[in-house]
């Protein structure tokens, strides 16, 4: 090229970039190391581009390895190098996205923070002036802080559907425990139950950063993907459009079951109703059920359980026990 | 800023022009641009006679695309990348008169983004896994072993050195080479072809 003769060759830059990337992933990483890397990246865009590429390759292979935990296994294929029990654990290894600016979890603070909450069975829609909307499902607590440089939400519990107008200068970030979701222009659904977080992306893109102990992983989700984050692993599953629509049934006040066990269906109903359903025995728990129900219409569900599945229903106060 | 790169620009833009912080651009680049790499490399091979220039050309295109994105991230990444590539080839030919006669196959006939094959968008986890598996199989034995322990088993470089009885420096070198090869295989190669030799 026409540059000065001492300009390093493309090959030399790539080796250096690969060196930095793998060191950052697999070796102890100090502040000094980060500063040295930053200095190298600042030297030229060619350095930065090469580093972004190597880093992305490592993140991608790591993510593919994590996917193995949900891919179907072929029996008798013993030579398969991916057959490792540690695959899920491998995903938790430090993997901060290429940005490299220090990762800071934003603390809830400031006078502009607003808390929204819904009771059991409740729903609420929050509309923002920029056209963004957030819909809260039953039994949900969401805090929102709109700043000049960032829009931030904290999902403390429950489920919310986000339709966010993208603004590169003012990203929308949701924190749920040690997980952080950054929208890159998008529609997504978050459901948080205790230590489990489910992230479903319907449109656009989001980045999911998860923290486990001192380690981070960063994943970009594609539309149709659902990430299930538990303290020790992340699973990514592809969902059909129909499945995603079903997941959003609550926006219309319905839940849809398909080959769902009575135990799971009851757990779902109990999210919405004060009147609690309880499974009386394991035989009843294993029966599977299908159909769409009004979330608040426990009676219909009990009727069907009785008439179609021959279950006995005993109601006492705020609780109904279903048994075979 | 539009999606059409300035035709006259074929140099390095001053970094002072950077208005955006790098992090979102890095993410965009990793997500949107890298997946076009195999199509871009094929495009360069079709339209530039000297194969030994391809790596340099690719880097220059990436730098231009990246620096443009620092000002504003293009909406249509694919179109932007291939327009940048096309303009860069044309400018190079104009500037370097000596090579112009044979450098470009057909200057007027240079394809635009619309003609190039679509990006490979694997959606089935199995296929992606298969691709990774094939990529891993092509690493030299020692590199593959070390890379597998690091990426799949989640071991640190130090743990790998200890387990294999290797110097940490050696493990580091294996990981560097493996990272480089994997990046080339994952991004640079046509996905429908499987070459036995890198």
Closest CA of chain A from B72, distance in Å: 9
Q: Can you list the pairs that A312-318 forms with residues at least 24 positions away whose Cβ atoms lie under 8 Å?
A: A312/A280, A314/A280, A318/A274, A318/A275, A318/A276
The confidence band for A13, taking pLDDT boundaries of 50, 70 and 90, is very high
**Does residue B116 register a pLDDT over 70?**
no
Q: Is the residue at A248 inside a domain?
A: no
A298-to-A125, A221, A269, A302, B98 alpha-carbon distances in Å:
24, 35, 7, 6, 82
Q: What's the predicted TM-score (pTM) here?
A: 0.46
Sequence length of chain B is 198
ipTM topping 0.90? no
B172 CB near a chain A CB, below 8 Å? Answer: yes
Please check whether residues A159 and A210 belong to one and the same domain.
yes
Question: Which among A18, A26, A171 is the nearest to B156, CB-wise?
Answer: A26
Q: What is the pLDDT of residues A88-133, one digit of tens each?
A: 222 222 222 222 222 223 333 344 678 888 888 888 888 877 778 8
Mean pLDDT (chain B, rounded): 74
CATH code for the domain of A259? 3.55.50.30
* Cross-chain residue pair A168–B125, CB shorter than 8 Å: no
* Cross-chain residue pair A99–B27, CB shorter than 8 Å: yes
pLDDT of residue A212: 58
The confidence band for A214, taking pLDDT boundaries of 50, 70 and 90, is low
| Mean pLDDT calculated for residue range A252-277 | 86
Domains of chain B: 15-115 (no CATH), 125-188 (1.10.10.10)
Please check whether residues A141 and A181 belong to one and the same domain.
yes
B41 CB near a chain A CB, below 8 Å? Answer: no
CATH code for the domain of A129? 2.60.120.1440
Chain B residues whose CB is inside 8 A of the A59 CB are: 30
Question: Which among B24, B135, B157 is the nearest to A26, CB-wise?
Answer: B157
Q: What is the pLDDT of residues B47-78, one digit of tens each?
A: 888 888 899 999 999 999 999 998 888 989 99
Question: Which among A11, A81, A100 is the nearest to B136, CB-wise?
Answer: A81
More confident residue, A274 or A20: A20
Total count of domains within chain A: 3
* Cross-chain residue pair A1–B55, CB shorter than 8 Å: no
* Cross-chain residue pair A44–B22, CB shorter than 8 Å: no
pLDDT of residue B126: 52
Please check whether residues A283 and A228 belong to one and the same domain.
no
Q: What is the pLDDT of residues B74-110, one digit of tens each?
A: 989 999 999 999 999 888 877 765 444 444 444 445 5
pLDDT of residue A308: 77
The confidence band for A2, taking pLDDT boundaries of 50, 70 and 90, is very low
Question: Which among A52, A70, A86 is the nearest to B154, CB-wise?
Answer: A86
A170-to-A50, A106, A146, A190, B91 alpha-carbon distances in Å:
27, 14, 9, 20, 37
Nearest CA in chain A to B179: A18
Q: Is the residue at A94 inside a domain?
A: no
Please check whether residues A180 and A138 belong to one and the same domain.
yes
**Under a CB-based contact definition with an 8 Å cutoff, are residues B119 and B36 in contact?**
yes
**Does residue B128 register a pLDDT over 50?**
yes
Chain A residues whose CB is inside 8 A of the B29 CB are: 49, 52, 98
Q: What is the pLDDT of residues B142-176, one digit of tens each?
A: 999 999 889 887 889 999 998 899 999 999 999 99
Range of the domain at A34: 10-67
The confidence band for A83, taking pLDDT boundaries of 50, 70 and 90, is very low
Mean pLDDT (chain A, rounded): 77
A169-to-A114, A166, B20, B73 alpha-carbon distances in Å:
22, 9, 8, 11
CA–CA dist B187, B198 (Å, integer):
13
């Amino acid at each position: 090229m026409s540059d000065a003769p001492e300009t390093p060759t493309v090959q030399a830059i790539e080796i250096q970039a690969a060196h930095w990337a793998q060191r950052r992933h697999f070796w102890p990483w100090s502040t000094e190391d980060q500063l040295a890397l930053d200095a190298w990246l600042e030297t030229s865009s060619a350095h930065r581009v090469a580093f972004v590429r190597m880093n992305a390759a490592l993140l991608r292979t790591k993510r593919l390895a994590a996917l193995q935990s949900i891919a179907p296994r072929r029996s008798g294929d013993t030579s398969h190098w991916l057959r490792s029990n540690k695959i899920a654990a491998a995903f938790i290894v430090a993997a901060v996205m290429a940005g490299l600016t220090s990762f800071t979890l934003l603390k809830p603070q400031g006078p502009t923070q607003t808390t929204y909450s819904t009771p059991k069975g409740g729903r609420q829609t929050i509309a923002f002036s920029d056209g963004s909307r957030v819909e809260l499902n039953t039994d949900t607590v969401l805090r929102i802080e709109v700043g000049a440089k960032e829009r931030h939400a904290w999902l403390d519990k429950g489920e919310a559907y986000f339709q966010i107008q993208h603004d590169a200068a003012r990203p929308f970030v949701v924190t749920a425990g040690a997980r952080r979701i950054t929208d890159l222009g998008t529609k997504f659904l978050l459901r948080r139950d205790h230590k489990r977080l489910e992230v479903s992306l319907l449109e656009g893109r989001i980045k999911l950063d998860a923290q486990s102990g001192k380690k981070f992983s960063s994943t970009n989700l594609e539309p149709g993907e659902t990430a299930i984050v538990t303290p020790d692993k992340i699973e990514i599953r592809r969902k059909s459009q129909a499945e995603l629509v079903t997941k959003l049934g609550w926006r219309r006040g319905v839940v849809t079951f398909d080959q769902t066990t009575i135990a799971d269906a009851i757990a779902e109903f109990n999210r919405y109703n004060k009147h609690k359903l309880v499974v009386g025995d394991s035989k009843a728990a294993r029966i599977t059920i299908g159909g769409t129900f009004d979330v608040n219409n426990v009676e219909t569900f009990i009727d069907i359980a009785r008439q179609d599945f021959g279950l006995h229903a005993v109601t006492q106060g705020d609780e109904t026990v279903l048994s075979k | 800023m539009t999606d059409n790169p300035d035709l006259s620009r074929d140099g390095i833009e001053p970094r002072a022009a950077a208005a955006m912080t790098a992090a979102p651009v890095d993410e965009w680049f990793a997500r949107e641009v890298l997946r076009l790499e195999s199509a871009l490399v094929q495009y360069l091979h079709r339209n530039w006679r000297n194969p030994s220039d391809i790596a340099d050309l690719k880097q220059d295109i990436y730098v231009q695309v990246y620096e443009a994105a620092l000002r504003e991230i293009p909406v249509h990444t694919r179109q932007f990348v291939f327009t940048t590539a096309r303009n860069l080839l044309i400018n190079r030919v104009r500037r370097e008169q000596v090579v112009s006669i044979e450098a470009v196959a057909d200057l007027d006939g240079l394809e635009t983004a619309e003609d190039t094959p679509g990006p490979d968008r694997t959606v089935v986890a199995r296929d992606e896994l298969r691709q990774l598996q094939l990529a891993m199989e092509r690493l030299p034995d020692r590199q593959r072993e070390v890379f597998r322990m690091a990426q799949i088993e989640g071991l640190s470089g130090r743990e790998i050195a200890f387990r294999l009885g290797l110097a940490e420096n050696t493990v580091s070198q294996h990981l560097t080479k493996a990272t480089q090869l994997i990046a080339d295989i994952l991004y640079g190669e046509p996905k429908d072809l499987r070459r036995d030799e890198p």
